[in-house]
């Protein structure tokens, strides 16, 4: 979790499309919240978020929750997991973006940004919106590339 409002992150061998969505997301978070995003060249136990991408449906990838499966065999296209827990606070998140979905010709850049913003929201402590389906933190990814005022207030209140 971002310490003193600084969120350090590392992109682990990301493809260009994922890098582009991450760059957009970092800029958005810095402009819209109190978080200062800081990319690093390496990662260690002090790195807050590590981003990964891969073809998880066809290769060994991170497990998904319950019976959910990676796209195209299922509906999971992004996954955030707490990698290092200290008491009740997550000290490091791993974010996984599925390239099978990202390379699907029906997808557009706006979807990549929405997915990256959604998963990064989990890395900043946001959970799924339970009642509102037209927000970026909805359990179903929607093509929305901004946090609600409620989500921004939660992030800013945590840091």
pLDDT digits (tens, 9 = 90+) for 77-94: 888 999 888 888 888 999
Q: Give the pLDDT score at 147.
A: 93
- The CATH class for the domain spanning 6-158 reads alpha beta
How far is it, in rounded angstroms, from Cα 149 to Cα 136?
11
Q: Domain residue spans in the chain?
A: 6-158
> What is the DSSP code (8-state) at residue 125?
T
Tokens 């979790």 map to which residue? 1
Average pLDDT on 101-128 reads 82
How far is it, in rounded angstroms, from Cα 104 to Cα 125?
29
Give me the helices (H) in the chain, please: 16-32, 99-102, 109-123, 149-158
pLDDT digits (tens, 9 = 90+) for 9-30: 999 889 888 899 999 999 999 9
pLDDT interval class at 4 (50, 70, 90) = low
């Amino acid at each position: 979790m971002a310490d003193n409002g600084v969120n350090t992150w590392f992109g682990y061998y990301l493809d260009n499309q994922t890098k582009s969505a991450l760059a957009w997301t970092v800029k958005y978070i810095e402009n819209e919240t109190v978080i200062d995003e800081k990319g690093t060249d390496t990662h260690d136990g002090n790195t807050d978020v590590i981003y990964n991408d891969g073809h998880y449906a066809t290769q060994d990838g991170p497990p998904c929750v319950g019976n959910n499966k990676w796209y195209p065999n299922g509906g999971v296209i992004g996954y955030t997991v707490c990698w290092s827990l200290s008491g009740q606070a997550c000290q490091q998140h791993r974010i996984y973006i599925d390239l099978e979905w990202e390379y699907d010709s029906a997808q557009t850049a706006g979807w990549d940004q929405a997915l990256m913003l959604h998963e990064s929201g989990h890395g900043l402590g946001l959970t799924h919106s339970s009642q509102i389906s037209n927000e970026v933190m909805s359990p179903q990814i929607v093509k929305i590339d901004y946090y609600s005022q409620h989500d921004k207030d939660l992030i800013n209140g945590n840091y």
